[in-house]
Amino acid sequence: MAALSECDSAAVGELVHPEVAIRTERRTHRGREAAVAWAGKQFDHLVRRYVPIEIEETPDGVLVHAELQYVWRGSGNVGDTSRVRIDLGVRDGLISSWHLEDEPR
């Protein structure tokens, strides 16, 4: 979560499996190269931060309950937040899948 929040695409590249599948609302990004490109996306005026609240072990990895924050780059003020859950699959000690969805309130 920290590497993604920092838009540290190199660190994300080290943490994901070569055959990783990242499912977003719009599409699925497949493979390490696509994951690195996706992780490096930034907004001009906002920083996207993932703040883990609870982590549950699952048969295939972990389920992260988190707060997704959009922070104004200039002031550091939080502009918007939402609760999300991120289902992370783990294979060979690396993240093999990522699926984020809004968490029911």
Per-residue pLDDT of the chain (105 residues; tens, 9 = 90+): 888 888 888 999 999 999 999 998 889 999 999 999 988 887 888 888 999 999 999 999 999 999 999 999 889 999 999 999 999 999 999 999 999 999 977
- Give the domain ranges of the chain: 2-102
| Alpha carbons 49 and 67: distance in angstroms, whole number | 8
Task: Give me the pLDDT at residue 85, please.
Answer: 95
Distances (CA, A) of 23 to 6, 26, 46, 74, 87: 20, 8, 22, 30, 10
Q: Which fold has domain 2-102?
A: Nuclear Transport Factor 2; Chain: A, (3.10.450)
Model pLDDT, residue 24: 84
Query: Which pTM does this prediction carry?
Result: 0.85
pLDDT recorded at residue 39:
87
